[in-house]
């Protein structure tokens, strides 16, 4: 399958020349898309879908360094190869510091050097993406880890304060998980954690976030949600987990349930710590009411 490369350059002739280089590539198949302005290039980069980006240094009155910083701030991880007309060590260093993965001088570009640079950027980009995932995701369940959860919670708390949008937190705990480990062993317990993680994410929207909070406990951040929506999300989590037994490969079939507690910001808490505490109290109430159910903090 052909991999899409975005070129951001206000020079149509440079775009045509780069197209000609692409036709001479001997290895992987690439297709070249073009954006002629800073604004169009940034918008398309943030949309995603590109394997890499070739970015010109000078874009009208603005430059590529600004665009790299704006793209990174917007969450783009697309590998960028910086293009410039001047062979300057200063530009080279500035481009790398801004986030570019390689640097090419236009007058020195050949089909071979361009293809090699793209391959290098793609390989390094894959490595950096793997490192980012290790830093932000739980290795067992592939959900967000506690550190990333804390970061997103603080971010959403600030967004809620600025724009007046409520959001909710649902804490979920696997019922009687210790007995699973004690009876069947930790490998089975790990398999249960993995399957529960999958089931918890099924009822979430793309904008919502799921994290492994710790041990057998999970956290769901439900964006722009009031108390009613928060409780419904918690109830869906319980229903999704108990919907069918978990079949362990080469092992037992286990009927697993979870308990869940939901709380909303700002109605139930004024800080991220208070929101976690409120959801935890609701979770404890669900455990006290017999487990396998969801409770909202507003019900306590």
Quote the pLDDT of residue 57: 84
Quote the pLDDT of residue 73: 84
Q: Which residues are catalytic?
A: 216
Burial class (CB in 10 A: 0-12, 13-18, 19+), 4: middle
Burial 220-248 (b: 16+ CB within 10 A, else e): bbbbbbebebbbbbbbbbbebbeeeebeb
**What is the pLDDT confidence band of residue 239, given thresholds at 50, 70 and 90?**
very high
pLDDT tens-digit readout, 106-162: 888 999 999 998 988 889 888 888 888 888 999 999 999 999 999 999 999 999 999
Please state the rounded mean pLDDT for residues 179-197.
Answer: 95
How many whole angstroms from its chain centre is CA 115? Answer: 29
Please state the rounded mean pLDDT for residues 49-59.
Answer: 89
Please state the rounded mean pLDDT for residues 187-209.
Answer: 94
Give yes or no for residue 102 having a pLDDT over 90.
no
- Exposure of 48 in the CB half-sphere (CA atoms within 13 A): 4
More confident call, 100 vs 24? 24
**What is the pLDDT confidence band of residue 272, given thresholds at 50, 70 and 90?**
very high
Question: Quick one: which of 20, 44, 30, 58 has its CA closest to 117?
Answer: 30
Distance CA 13, CA 55 (A): 15
Average pLDDT, the chain: 91
Q: Alpha-carbon dihedral of residues 93, 95, 101, 106, nearest 10 degrees?
A: -100
Phi first, then psi, for residue 177 (nearest 5°) are -70, -35
Question: Quick one: which of 118, 47, 45 has its CA closest to 81?
Answer: 118
Q: What is the DSSP string of 221-250?
A: EETT--HHHHHHHHHHHHHHHHTSPEEPTT
pLDDT tens-digit readout, 23-40: 988 877 889 999 999 999
Q: What is the pTM of this model?
A: 0.70
Quote the pLDDT of residue 88: 64
Quote the pLDDT of residue 298: 92
Quote the pLDDT of residue 48: 87
Please state the rounded mean pLDDT for residues 94-108.
Answer: 82
Quote the pLDDT of residue 214: 92
Give yes or no for residue 265 having a pLDDT over 80.
yes
Quote the pLDDT of residue 74: 86
Return the SS3 of 58.
Answer: strand
Number of H helices, E strands in the chain: 10, 14
Strand pairing category for 62-63 and 58-59 = antiparallel
Q: Show the domains of the chain with their CATH numbers.
A: 3-136 (3.40.50.2300), 146-299 (3.30.70.270)
The answer for residues whose C-beta is within 8 angstroms of residue 6's C-beta and 6 or more apart is 33, 34, 35, 41, 44, 45, 50, 52, 53, 54, 78
pLDDT tens-digit readout, 69-92: 898 888 888 998 988 877 666 766
């Amino acid at each position: 399958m052909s991999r899409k490369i975005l070129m951001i350059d206000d020079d149509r002739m440079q775009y045509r020349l780069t197209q000609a280089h692409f036709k001479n590539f001997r290895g992987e198949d690439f297709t070249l898309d073009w954006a002629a302005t800073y604004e169009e290039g940034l918008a398309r980069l943030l949309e995603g879908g590109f394997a890499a980006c070739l970015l010109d240094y000078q874009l009208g009155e603005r430059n590529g360094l600004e665009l790299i910083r704006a793209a990174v701030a917007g969450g783009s991880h697309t590998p960028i190869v910086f293009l410039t007309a001047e062979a300057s060590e200063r530009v080279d260093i500035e481009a790398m510091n801004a986030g570019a993965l390689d640097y090419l001088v236009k007058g020195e570009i050949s089909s071979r050097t361009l293809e090699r640079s793209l391959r290098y950027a793609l390989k390094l980009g894959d490595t950096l993406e793997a490192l980012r995932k290790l830093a932000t995701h739980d290795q067992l369940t592939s959900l967000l880890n506690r550190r990333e959860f804390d970061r997103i919670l603080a971010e959403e708390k600030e967004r809620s304060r600025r724009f007046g949008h409520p959001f909710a937190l649902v804490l979920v705990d696997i019922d009687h998980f210790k007995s699973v480990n004690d009876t069947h062993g930790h490998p089975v317990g790990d398999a249960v954690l993995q399957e529960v993680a999958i089931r918890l994410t099924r009822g979430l929207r793309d904008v919502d976030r799921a994290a492994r909070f710790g041990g057998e406990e999970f956290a769901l951040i439900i964006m722009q949600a009031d108390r009613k929506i928060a409780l419904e999300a918690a109830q869906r989590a319980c229903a999704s987990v108990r919907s069918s037994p978990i079949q362990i490969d080469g092992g037992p079939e286990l009927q697993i349930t979870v308990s869940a507690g939901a709380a909303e910001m700002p109605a139930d808490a004024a800080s991220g710590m208070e929101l976690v505490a409120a959801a935890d109290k609701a979770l404890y109430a669900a455990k006290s009411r017999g487990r396998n159910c969801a409770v909202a903090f507003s019900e306590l």
